[in-house]
Structure 1
């Protein structure tokens, strides 16, 4: 059996069935897998993937393997692993996996080092931790790496900072920036799965609650949309005046986070920054306030400060931790402040991850053929890949669209023709 560190290999049968269930709703990735099986565009490539170990990710790994790659996988978040899926990938697909749901911080980074021991040619990241560890601790392996991809807003922010400082040693394609990723995955995927995670963890009624969304990027838009659809009064906090104006025009209350802290019942952070909900916020929150995060890292909530403030702490439900403050008010943190849609739920629906992972697969193949002409910086997904994925998705849904006539095409290219 391939190298691995998973919770229980005996869960492989259950995981295989769930992987098949997800695959049914991933027609774009399925068609790419068929192409890859014939053309083998990744032949000879060792790929190190640090992603959420879910049923959808399993289908991506099998697609990459079909394309000829030697793939290894570790978790990009300590609480996002689906243990049965990890077991199935090892036993049924012969893919090395290093991931256990609930692993501590030391194990998390040990698993990244296990992943890097395969000396990858390509990296596939969800938060840029593999790239960071490579550059800090395994620089000896950098000469092997020809390119990488990054899935998240948070990761792209980190990688662009590296590129601007001139320390990034190989090109990265920002899959997150693809329109077929962030317009759908971030908005519809995060919106639905975040609400799913909150409901599974708390079983609280959303209707009538004051629901605070910190950040109005595509993820924030999705969460706000779904919360309003369930009857909440939605409040948005922002630092960007354009996004704040957009949220206002979309019909939400917009205010500073300290003002929202005084009235909110449920808080969700989706910013990619640190200490968005801070010690000061905890000091004014109502008794019973629920705090969670759907940004990549739990640093969005100042958990250390809350822990130091608390005079009592206990787990009152799975994925729900109660912090009692000196004034007897109780604050509830969901899923240790980590991605609540993966901590207590199953992450994004397969049909939306279909497009995101199609981008990962096609961008990996693109990187193999084009890497010699790329600089050590962060690139957007080529427009032709974005459009091809959109076309494949529409085709799978049985939707047809119009094409330009020759006259229309000529008109768009001309400047002589006016009104």
Structure 2
């Protein structure tokens, strides 16, 4: 018996630097058991045609955004790591501008490092540094803890591991992307990069590649081919380009407001965890200050992307007040444990109101700051300046989210 199955595979092309969005794919099931031979014809429609799934109405509580950042930490990549550290909060702000059906996305980020000889050779010189998490302080902590050491960079293997290990969301309207950056040929290692990239796109995950070096060298090394296989974007950067942070008259006010914002956090859980959350928030403020990015971090903290549900009483109460009401007394901050349940709720609601006021002020001052930066950049335009990790990432995210149905605020 011979049957012919005709299916149409619809897809959406996405333009972004190290990450991209994949719409639904019409995957066909296995042939019937009684068939001797099945011929399958796939008609691929033009990538310019919009996939109907892109425009499906969003029905979730918040649109889901999952991003895995895969960084080469071999000897020559110190500049790349420095760029990622100093530009993290600029990148977060790009996500904060995105909305679907009026809702800011729930952003989760994972970090992998690869190509470092301090990592086990039996594991392909790969390490999952951070699982997908909405704890952006944890992501910042992980980036600042990275160090480099020479090694073999296995792009196919680290992409494959990221696809398999991470708990990627199943929201049909989600944006899922891998951003991989490095400088050696994409073809190294025992895992075929073509297989890994196809594996990613089969799971609705776009792969965007950032080659650290010459554009044509990256093409020759198959970085562009890898991106195209997974409907992502190929980019190249100069990993040794110095990141320029423009000092603004608004910085002083933003830093003061950031200090006030920190006072509104009511960390909860076991005592050790409470102290750890508070200490890490302060540590990442310090890290951002040292790399010239504290104003950007403070601005990101004023958005709903910086959330600490499950760690902070205010954020948790706003999402699930019953969970807070049922919390054991010893899990509350020490200063709240002696209060009555009613007094605890009054304290949380008071802090929620205070936080909202500070965030509104921060957002307003940051708009002035961004306008100042734009004007200064226009005056000092340097055509010789090369793209950095943050430049490529931000542009890709902005374009990709827009293509995938998000509205982007200016």
Q: TM-score range by the shorter chain?
A: under 0.3
Structure of higher RCO (CA pairs closer than 8 Å, 6+ residues apart): 2
* TM-score, with length taken from structure 1: 0.25
- From the two aligned structures, give the one with the greater helix fraction: 1
